[in-house]
Structure 1
Amino acid sequence: MANRIITRPLIGGLVLTGAIGVAPAMAADYVIDTEGSHASVNFRISHLGYSWLTGRFNDFSGEFSYDADNPGDAEITVNIDPASVDSNHEKRDKHLRSDDFLAVEQYPEARFVSTDYIPHDDGTATLEGDFTLHGVTRPISIDVEKIGEGEDPWGGYRAGFSGETSFQLADYGIDYNLGPASETVHLQLEVEGIRQ
């Protein structure tokens, strides 16, 4: 099973590494900026091996803690509303919400909770954690890239990351048969947090 994420963190990612600007002296808590639409949880999956179907989850929330001097202590939680799936096609989105795929009435939340953050020498990192989808919780790894951090024009302080991962639908109990080319979901998370 291929598992990867980048946080330039959904869910959830996400968190982490290589600072731009002045780093805070100690770990800080951030809320993911969904109100300002400065974060997104996106996905793509092959359509029968002929093209890429892309989409996003419009409703999610989360928070993370991060210290550029001690990135290994970083933590993140992302909560995703599966019913907010948006592939820009109303009939398909209704099918994705059904029991064939996300079964949103039975499983109204997807969630990522980090367990470890491993920085690398090239300025990237690996974020480990537990991802819950469709009522199944499994460990997953996210490839992370830190985009930057610093003061914003409104007197606040922000940090941003990008994350990517992939997983098999069957690993989360989703077995609707679209053929072997459509078994893997690629998830991308763009996360900008506002320091609290």
Structure 2
Amino acid sequence: MKNNLLKTLMATSFLAAAAAPLTASAADYVIDTQGAHASIEFRVSHLGYSFVVGRFNDFSGNFNFDAAKPAQSKVNVTINTLSLDSNHAERDKHLRSPDFLNTAKFATATFASTSVTDKGEGDMLIEGELTLNGVTKPLTIKAHAVGEGQDPWGGYRAGFVGTSEFALKDYGINFDLGPASTHVALNLVVEGVRQ
């Protein structure tokens, strides 16, 4: 009788353990640029009176993320600098010239993370290297995990927002725009589809 009870308890414990949900683990995601669920926007002060705002329309990337271990995340992004769009054709032509991005020589920019610091409440600091205009420098992105879950098409998605800033001269861009326009602010929206 005791043996039967012991066997029943062991079997029940085994079945309960097998039925328990598995802990989420790190997954690879591709940034959903095809569905236009991601954006890279930039903003530069214009004479200290307003801002020039633009975006890169063509980019791709991927990331690895586990909400339980955000510090183990990795991010890689490649940007087609020719896709720069500030909603002004003549200005865009100038921004693509050797005065700024020199897109004829450097048609891509890249960002690769080197570390991620979990700040709690979905906040993270993503340290990495930005290569722009042929120059590679460290860049820090303040990121926030917006959410993750199933989508209506049978996939699984995770989304983030982020901000960063860098000095133009750090990337060999020395065109004088005035003292109010030495830095570029970045606003990032990233939604990835789990692979």
Q: TM bucket by the smaller chain?
A: 0.7 to 0.9
Determine whether 1:182 maps to 2:178.
no
Structure with higher helix content? 2
**After superposition, what is the alpha-carbon deviation per residue over 1:19-63, rounded to whole angstroms, capped at 9, x for unaligned?**
xxx997111000000000000000000001111110000000000
Consecutive unaligned residues of structure 2, counting only runs of 5 or more, are 1-20
Q: Distance in 2 between matches of 1:178 and 1:88?
A: 19
Aligned length: 175
Q: Does 1:145 align with 2:144?
A: yes
Aligned pair 1:113/2:112, yes or no? yes
Q: Is the 8 A contact 1:23 1:67 kept in 2?
A: no
Q: TM-score, normalised by structure 1?
A: 0.87
SS at 2:90 equivalent: helix
Runs (4+) of structure 1 moved beyond 2 Å? none
* In 1, Cα distance between equivalents of 2:74 and 2:136: 18
Q: Say whether the 8 Å CA contact 1:150–1:159 is kept in structure 2.
A: yes
Q: Contact between 1:145 and 1:161, CA under 8 Å: does it hold in 2? A: yes
RMSD: 1.3
Relative contact order higher in (CA < 8 Å, ≥ 6 apart): 1
User: In 2 relative to 1, CA 92–24 (structure 1 residues): closer, same or farther, beyond 3 Å?
Assistant: farther
Conservation of the 8 A alpha-carbon contact between 1:110 and 1:131: yes
Report the Cα distance in structure 1 between the residues aligned to 2:45 and 2:68, rounded to whole angstroms.
40
Q: Is the 8 A contact 1:162 1:191 kept in 2?
A: yes
CA distance in 1, matches of 2:84, 2:107: 12
Q: Which runs of 5+ in 1 are unaligned?
A: 1-21
Contact 1:65 1:74 in 2 (8 A): yes
Give the percent of matched residue pairs that are identical in Structure 1 and Structure 2. 55
